[in-house]
Chains A and B, each alone.
Chain A
Amino acid sequence: MVAETPRTKSLVLEIPGWEGHKAGQHVDVRLTAPDGYQAQRSYSIASAPEDERLVLTVDRLDDGEVSPYLTEVLMAGDKLELRGPIGGYFTWEATDNGPLLLVGGGSGVVPLMAMIRHRAAVGSAVPARLLYSSRSYEEIIYRKELEALAAQDGSLEVIHTLTRTRPEGWSGYSRRIDAELLGEVAWFPDESPLAFVCGPTPLVEAVGTALVGLGHEPARVKTERFGATGG
């Protein structure tokens, strides 16, 4: 168990017989109560296919049924029931090329991080930009790792925007992601980037609509909405 932010934890899992995954895929985690009641939720895989162990990063939703258990109760050594890897649509492999435009809100960064880690693990030179919206500096997941990866790799850019509170002297963006911000940050449509957008439904729909409005081909803009029923 690795604490990423006050609200998110990464679960490092050892899965016998795991046959590997693609960056961007998720797993379904199922919990069964002693009385037989079951609750199931989907969580994105955060680790690269090349990593030895599977990592899920879970955001704790206070009124959730599954995430409070995974982040507060589960202990190292406990067993989990999961199904996966799932989904072949919202995935990226280094051979798919790019350039890559990754847009994430909150814990929507998790499947994008799997792509960034995969890209680094195979030494891909595909230019990549991550535009990442968080409420506050403290809530930026993987902040140090992203800094380190961007520092050693000139073709990876990480651009943050903080929507609620900013530390003193913050020089990054401080507004919600809209068409104007995407116009400043995104690749031009004629560079035919592959875009992956993941986060809460309103953010994903706003970004998806804005990218298509800027002239990006809809088939190259892939989205994954978290919805409001997570947890």
Chain B
Amino acid sequence: MDDKLRLDGNAAAGTLGEVFSFEVTTAEYACNGCGRAGRLGGAMVYEVRELGTIVRCPSCDNALIRLAHNRERHMVDLRGMRYLTTG
């Protein structure tokens, strides 16, 4: 993954807001890879324009959230997280 494309969880807040009804950047997660817990706003985000968004764990790079856009629909894969708290 190109390091220059790396953004913060904050950058995906608008897109993730189309899926979740709560404020995602302050939501807490635990990574399914390494167990790290944190807020999504502090995770790493890689955006592929018009195609999708991947949120990765800042410790182990595991993909926490994979979100693919297809026309007006989103496909969300949350298997990278043990849990996600609301807001």
Contacts and interface: CB of A to CB of B under 8 A. Distances in A.
A201 B6 contact: yes
A191 to B, nearest CB: 22
Interface residue range, chain A: 20 to 34
Nearest to B38: A219
B14 A227 contact: no
Interface string B4-16: 1111111101100
Interface residues of B, number: 23
A225 B14 contact: no
Contacts of A223: 8, 42
A90 B87 CA distance: 14
B39 A89 contact: yes
Interface string A197-231: 00001100000000000000000001111111100
Interface of A: 26, 28, 40, 42, 83-84, 86-90, 201-202, 222-229
- Closest 10 pairs between A and B when the two form their complex, measured CB to CB: A89-B41, A89-B25, A228-B4, A28-B14, A88-B23, A87-B13, A88-B26, A86-B13, A87-B10, A227-B7
5 contacts: A89-B26, A90-B10, A223-B8, A227-B4, A229-B49
